[in-house]
Amino acid sequence: GNHAQRTAQMLGIKMPAIPVEHQFIVTDVDPALQEFRKTNPEHPVIRDADAQSYVREERGGWILGVYEKEAPACFERGVPDSFRADLFPLALERIE
């Protein structure tokens, strides 16, 4: 993830990883998921290799993401301390 390099550095390991910008959609809370969670652990991540996409739980709803070709690198020298969970500019044209 975004902090792989920093975490590896704390362990004295060089991590050849660079995070990339990622387009995704987050839904509102899903009542059906809330009901599911009453008797089940977190819903498994669903990955579709053919569609190059995934769906997983996110804050009581769902997050739908795609694995983008040629997604631009970001934080090549580490994540700035000022970055929290800011959003990157929308770039839906990168999604095939």
pLDDT tens for residues 26-52?
999 999 999 999 999 999 999 999 988
Q: Is residue 65 part of a domain?
A: yes
Find the CATH number of the domain harbouring 38.
3.30.9.10
Is a pLDDT exceeding 90 seen at residue 90?
Answer: no
Q: Is residue 39 part of a domain?
A: yes
User: Tell me: the pLDDT tens digits for 46-82?
Assistant: 999 998 899 999 999 999 998 887 888 887 777 777 7
Query: What was the pLDDT predicted at 48?
Result: 95
pTM of the model: 0.68
What domain range includes position 34? Answer: 20-94
Q: Is residue 47 part of a domain?
A: yes
Count of structural domains, the chain: 1
**CA 4 – CA 61 distance, rounded (Å):** 26
- Listed in sequence order, the residues at least 6 apart from 95 whose beta carbon sits closer than 8 Å to its beta carbon are 23, 66, 68
Query: What was the pLDDT predicted at 47?
Result: 96
